Structure 1
Amino acid sequence: MPEDSPLIRSMRTAVEAAPGDVPLRLHLAELLLDAGQPDASVAEVAVALQHAPGDGQARALMIRAMGGPPAAAPTNAPATAPAVPAVPEAPASAVPAPAPRAGFDWRAAADQVGDVIPPRFVEPPLTADGYGDPGDAAAWDVSAPGAPGGVRLADVGGMQEVKERLEAAFLAPLRNPELRRLYGKSLRGGLLLYGPPGCGKTFIARAIAGELGAGFLSVSVNDVLDMWIGNSERNMHEIFQTARRQAPCVVFLDELDALGAKRSRTQHGGLRNTVNQLLTELDGIDSAANEGVFVLAATNVPWDVDIALRRPGRLDRTLLVLPPDAPAREAILRYHLDERPVENVDLGKLVKITEGLSGADLAHLCEAAAESALLDSARTGTVRMIGMTDLLRAAKETVPSTEPWFATARNVAMYANDGGTYDDLITYLKKKRKL
């Protein structure tokens, strides 16, 4: 870099004393450009444009400093004057592009003026299929088998009856390839988990994926539905294409009543088309299309799911997931209290008085007990442990969130149990004397 002349050094001192003086800074930029220092000139003009983005002289000087054709903007032009081309307007093909100057750092120059010069492109790049919305298969996140945080059925506390039914009706045929080939059982399957909210349906779905050694792809209504016509169906197709490419893979459809609601009750044509697309994907293009793809779904209101989704060959098996039993409640309470300061906690007593609470209710109970101890410690200025008094008070104040669900499910089980779909629910209600 050439040494600054005395005039340039004096101008630098003046600019440092008055950094907001745009004409002074532009004069310094002119001197730097005439002295063969275009990089330094660009830096000074960029700062000037930050103070006066519409300054015509600054823009013309920026073009000169970056190697463009000179612009005929008068030195005394007002700050709002637009830049005026120095040559008559000509076809683009007649104006050669400026040749890059050797040694000039164009990337650094672009970074310096990036906040005052509009971007070259404003639209996001199109995907390979020509759509502007990047909904390709790479956008779906599939948890790999054995990934950190993966769970198996052994990690599900209690619920032995649920595990046994899963093993007999779903897992055992898929774990034994010889028997499967002998009996002509396809490596496909569909299972609908239903029950009151907060009872661990999603956790069980992840555990099933762990048992199968399969990837896990969780899908919610927000992942599928789109405001543009046709995009929802395309999203559904891409989800299943991703699962097929990464088989074995479990596709978990959360809140199936939103994704596969009864079409007879759906007013919007787009939602009906989405259900139709889901039916098509469950069937597969041919008999082997979904080989290695296991479809699990969860819902709190199975009676609102389109009946076509539950015909044989689709989600033809159902499993009732009830509030946690005693061993499961003990495991849940132990998990939520494990990292908290507790003393003399009688888990056996807590398990007895929390019957009917969901897993989410038990988590809230532990949170409420911890909050009580925290507030008490803040008031007294002495930190104390969480004790049985806090937990018993929280248990007394926690109302089971499952009761409204059972009130609705009871009527469905009594008057709409076509084909014995809700026999398990009726058995449970009779056992609890709620029927």
Structure 2
Amino acid sequence: MTPDPLLDSLRAAVSAAPGDVPLRLHLAGLLLERGGRDEAVAHLGALLGQDPGNAEAAQLMARALTGTPVAEPKPGFDWAAAESQVADVVSPRFVDGAEAVPTGPAPAELTADVEQPRVTLADVGGMTDVKKRLDAAFLAPMRNPELRKLYGKSLRGGLLLYGPPGNGKTFLAKAVAGELRARFLAVGLDEVLDMWLGNSERNLHELFLAARRAAPCVVFFDELDAIGQKRSRLAGAAARNVVAQLLVELDGVTEDNEGVFVLAATNAPWDVDTALRRPGRFDRTLLVLPPDEPARAAILEYHLRDRPVAGIDLKQLAKRTDGWSGADLAHLCETASERALLASVESGVPREIGMADLLGALPEIRPSAAAWFAAARNVVLYANADGAYDELAGYLKRKKLL
């Protein structure tokens, strides 16, 4: 956002009087109109915490989270009239015709990194419910073609994994490919987005061509909300065209997607374009939550297995890390290793990592999923009219976060 004296004054006033509901509401409305969505959501969340029954605040929150488009401002300068006035002095800078549009150099031939995963769901610790849902919604129809034909089960559509960051969504996608004995193609932002007009769409098409050539293949889109963001929030046509191209590839309009299974992960499913969530596309969702107790013990064991350890009580650590992500647990093991290493340097005698090192590291680490659940709570409360996030709402209630 560009600096705005009015907004700065309102921010200062809200800071001085945080309990002034109308003032904070006015600031949130202006922020939403001027492109400050994230800051507006923060103010609305604080306001609804003070006044849960405020209908205007709830309406603004729903608008912010669902991406209701704001009318575009009228142009402030008539460039065509100005150009005609100086036509005799300056040659035209813009001319009609496709030749005048610089699209930049064609991208180099795409070499997709297709791999053959060796992991399966058996390598995923715990997460029993997630595995059952994966099997029922995705894997069972793939493994049983005769039954699939008998029941008329279509293979169209993809699976969207969502949840807080650091909980193994990418690892789960690889495990799915391993279960199917399929190749795996991970697609990131840098492999799709390009500064030149048209190249991003071309990159997407080339990636799907590579997946079709390598079939059976699992195509995995990480951070789908960045590639397939709601078009109502996108200012430029180029970004909208990327979403449109992805829709074309998913629908198999120009090519046959037989043997191509599409998975995606996102931390913010509410920011994904609604067209991508329709039947035949990413029409199945799976909530991937922080690991349960058995999974936490398995993750800790995995990250400590190649380190010198002694006297580690994995069950006790798993009980004391409820709500921690897989990334948080890996960080715990790393921090405990640092403590043991520094102690060895000071004493001059190498020693093993003990339970005291891990327990001492516990207070130094704050669970990283807290901020995500705070944002998710607002979505469940104000943008779940269609019930898309009922499973998430149930988890928040069980954890007394809702």
TM-score normalised per structure 2: 0.73
Contact 2:336-2:353 at 8 Å conserved across structures: yes
1:140 aligns with 2:112: yes
Aligned pair partner of 1:369 in 315, 332, 336: 336
2:279 maps to: 312
1:206 aligns with 2:170: no
User: Which residue type is aligned with residue 269 of structure 1?
Assistant: A
1:245-394 superposed matches below 5 A: 245-285=213-253, 289-394=256-361
1:53 maps to: none
Could you tell me how far apart the structure 1 residues matched to 2:272 and 2:284 are?
14
1:194 maps to: 162
Contact 1:190-1:317 at 8 Å conserved across structures: yes
Contact 1:186-1:291 at 8 Å conserved across structures: no
TM-score normalised per structure 1: 0.67
1:217 maps to: 185
Contact 1:370-1:386 at 8 Å conserved across structures: yes
1:132 positional shift:
4.7
**Structure 1 residues 232-278: Cα deviation after superposition (integer angstroms, max 9, x where no partner):** 00000011111112111100000001100011101122111101100
Could you tell me how far apart the structure 1 residues matched to 2:310 and 2:121 are?
30
1:417 positional shift:
1.0
Number of aligned residue pairs: give it: 299
1:410 positional shift:
0.7
Could you tell me how far apart the structure 2 residues matched to 1:248 and 1:430 are?
40
1:395 aligns with 2:395: no
User: Which residue type is aligned with residue 322 of structure 1?
Assistant: L
User: Which residue type is aligned with residue 366 of structure 2?
Assistant: V
Could you tell me how far apart the structure 1 residues matched to 2:214 and 2:386 are?
36
User: Which residue type is aligned with residue 168 of structure 1?
Assistant: A
User: Which residue type is aligned with residue 262 of structure 1?
Assistant: K
Could you tell me how far apart the structure 2 residues matched to 1:354 and 1:396 are?
11
1:344 positional shift:
0.7
Could you tell me how far apart the structure 1 residues matched to 2:216 and 2:346 are?
55
Aligned pair partner of 1:233 in 187, 201, 207: 201
**Structure 1 residues 377-416: Cα deviation after superposition (integer angstroms, max 9, x where no partner):** 1111111111111100111211000000000001101111
**Structure 1 residues 346-405: Cα deviation after superposition (integer angstroms, max 9, x where no partner):** 111101101111000000000000000101111111111111111001112110000000
SS at match of 1:360: helix
1:16-165 superposed matches below 5 A: 132-136=106-110, 139-144=111-116, 147=117, 150-165=118-133
SS at match of 1:419: coil
SS at match of 1:185: coil
Highest relative contact order (Cα 8 Å, sep 6+), 1 or 2?
Answer: 2
Could you tell me how far apart the structure 2 residues matched to 1:376 and 1:217 are?
43
Contact 2:157-2:279 at 8 Å conserved across structures: no
* Structure 2: gaps of 5 or more residues: 1-104
1:178 maps to: 146
Could you tell me how far apart the structure 1 residues matched to 2:342 and 2:371 are?
32
2:47 maps to: none
Contact 1:135-1:235 at 8 Å conserved across structures: no
Aligned residues with identical type, % of pairs: 66
RMSD: 1.4
Contact 1:188-1:293 at 8 Å conserved across structures: no
Structure exhibiting the larger radius of gyration computed from Cα positions: 1
Contact 1:189-1:293 at 8 Å conserved across structures: no
Could you tell me how far apart the structure 2 residues matched to 1:212 and 1:416 are?
35
Contact 1:188-1:292 at 8 Å conserved across structures: no
